Structure formats: structure tokens, C-alpha cells
Structure 1
Amino acid sequence: MPLPPPPPPPSFLSPAPLSPPKPPIVASKGPPGALLVELNAYNGSPFNDHWSYFVRSSHDPDVGVVIEAVGDVRTGFKLQIERNYNFGLTSNPTATRIPLQWIGAEYVDEKAMLNNEASTAVDDPVCIFEECLLKIEVPKKTLNDIHETVSLALDHCCSVLCLTTKLIYS
């Protein structure tokens, strides 16, 4: 009796479609004094999307604090806090705003975070929540520059000769 044919080979050409994760279910109103933190995604076309945290103010859902990694792969990144950020005044609208969690009043200082309604970008935390976020390690420099060279400080020609001799005979 002949054996059945072998099964078809697995398909490695097309990856299985991934469904995006479902956002968490967050209450529409939080505890007294709590602020809502969101994850915002900006369209980065033709590159990858850009992501940031946004802490809403209690009086306007479009005004708050943006905490994001700024920089590039050549120089590295750092976390930056943009105080009193207003989505109504920006030319870079978010593609998606995902509510994540209410932050208790004991961890935030809304007045200091909003900088008395003055817009500014800073590196200094003003509350426990910001201190915790600034402890997150951001991506380091990942692009090597082809022009990076090691320069040697040489006092005179003898140093060049000695260095060359060491390199040849080592």
C-alpha cells in the first residue's frame, strides 16, 4: 500500500496577520485630584510612528503635559517634558489617543506640571510621576558615523615613529 503524499511545506512568505492590542478599559472619571495619562501615536510616515505620554489637565482634555523621547539614532535620545501642551494649537495632530490609567493625586502636582499655563519644554520633574518616568532608559545612539575617527595627540615626529614601530611589531 503506497504512503500518502507529504503535507505541503509551511508558508514562510507571508507572516500571520497581527491584530493590534486592545486598549485598556479606563473609567471616564477618576478619583478626586487624579489625572488621566494617555498614550499618543503620531503618524511618522514615511518613517515609524512617534509615541508619547500625555497627562491631561483636569479642566481641558486637550491641554496637559507631553512626555516623550526626543533625538535621533545618530546622537541618541533623551526624555523631554512639554508643559501646558495644547492639542488645539499644534500643527502635528495625533493619529491616536489611548487612555491608559488614572494617576492618583498623591503622585501628581497639576499646577506645577502645567507650569502656571506657560508652555515650555524642560528636563526637570516636578512630581513623583515625572520622577519615575525620567528613570526610564531611552534608546542610545545606534547609528555609527562613518566620519568618526580616533585622533591621537602627538607631540613631535618621534612619537609618530615610536607609535608606528609599536603597531608594526606588536
Structure 2
Amino acid sequence: MTRTIYLIVYNSPLFPAHWAIWIPSQENQTIGKRIHVEGDVATGFQLSFDRNYDKTQDSRKHEIIILAEIDDDHVIDNPGDGSNTVDREPKDAIESVAVKVPPPGPSLMSVARTRGTKVVIKNCQTWLVDVVSALHQEGIILDNKAVEIIKNAPKN
């Protein structure tokens, strides 16, 4: 049996869009797992597994893009008592790959510190591109189209 994994793009007209992987539970397609990093380019980011996340309760403008079909064996739903919880401990193969990709540290620096060097800004988008690439390399995502889909996803 397969599961569909999605990219949620929280659009923003002023700032880079926030990206997250969304995996709906088998029982309820509006509740599931959201995998993302939270933070900012000045202080860095932290990995977050949002369990029992109800996407209908989030009022932010967003779009959902199909990334890939994966084998159901790679995903574990963690319903617990049904309440939304957040942690950083991997419980399945997808989460185990995500924790191996380091969240971006601070990449926004003062002009004095960067004089003469090119600054590469890393954020949730760059991290998720790396995660999807790692999932493909590990054989969890079999179709290479997911890497292209995420690279071409809306940036704002």
C-alpha cells in the first residue's frame, strides 16, 4: 500500500514562503504529520515533528502540492490521544532521514562579518530540498520527480 506525501507552501507576499512536508493519517486526511524546521535566518532553525496536526485549523494562506507516493511501511501514524503534539524524536523512516539533515544555522550576518564573501541564505526551503533529496537517495521516494517538484515550488 502507498501513501501520498505533500509539500505545504505557506505563501507570503513579503517573505520567503514557509515549507513543510505533510503526511495525512490514513484515518483522517485533514489530520496528520507535519515535518519542518522553524526559526529564522538570523538565529537558525530547529526541526519539528507536529503530530496530529490539523491543517484545517491553520488560517494562513497555503497551497498543497503532491510530492510523491511512498511505501506505507515508511510512515507511522502516532495518534496518541489525538491531541496535537510537537517533538524532535524520529518515529519512522521518513523522520529518521529528516533528523540526519541538519537544520540551517544562522546565515544572515552583518556586512562587517561577510565583507568579500558571498552569503548563502539557508532557510526551511533549502532544508526541505535537502530532505527530499535524501529521501530519494535512501530509496524512500523512488521517483526523482519529487526533487524537481520541490525545487520548482513557489518561493513566496
* Runs of 4+ residues over 4 Å off in structure 1: none
Work out the CA distance in 2 between the residues paired with 1:129 and 1:63: 17
* Counterpart residue identity of residue 141, structure 1: P
Give ranges in structure 1 of 5+ residues lacking alignment.
1-30, 147-170
Q: How many angstroms apart in 1 are the aligned matches of 2:101 and 2:12? A: 23
Amino acid at match of 1:105: D
Higher relative contact order (CA 8 A, sep 6+): 2
Q: Tell me how far apart the structure 2 counterparts of residues 38 and 136 of structure 1 sit (CA, whole Å).
A: 19
From 74, 91, 102, the counterpart of 1:137: 102
* Equivalent position to 1:103, from 38, 52, 70: 70
For residues 16-31 of structure 1, the aligned pairs below 5 Å read 31=1
- Please give the TM-score of this superposition, normalised by the length of structure 2: 0.64
**Cα distance in 2 for residues equivalent to 1:76 and 1:38:** 24
The structure in which a higher percent of residues are strand is 2
SS of alignment partner, residue 78 of structure 1: strand
Q: CA deviation at 1:59?
A: 2.1
Q: Mark the CA change 1:70 to 1:98 in structure 2 (over 3 Å): closer, same or farther.
A: same
Consecutive unaligned residues in structure 2, runs of 5 or more: 112-156
Correspondence list, 1:55-94, <5 A: 55-94=23-62
The CA RMSD over aligned residues, in Å, is: 2.0
Q: Which has the larger radius of gyration?
A: 1
Q: Distance in 2 between matches of 1:122 and 1:91?
A: 22
Q: How far apart are the structure 1 equivalents of 2:57 and 2:30?
A: 9
Q: Do the aligned residues in 2 keep the contact of 1:66 with 1:82 (CA within 8 Å)?
A: yes
Question: May I ask how many residue pairs the two structures share in their alignment?
Answer: 112
TM-score, normalised to structure 1's length? Answer: 0.59
Correspondent of 2:16 among 32, 41, 48? 48
Report which of the two has the higher share of helix: 2
* CA distance in 2 between partners of 1:87 and 1:107 (Å): 22
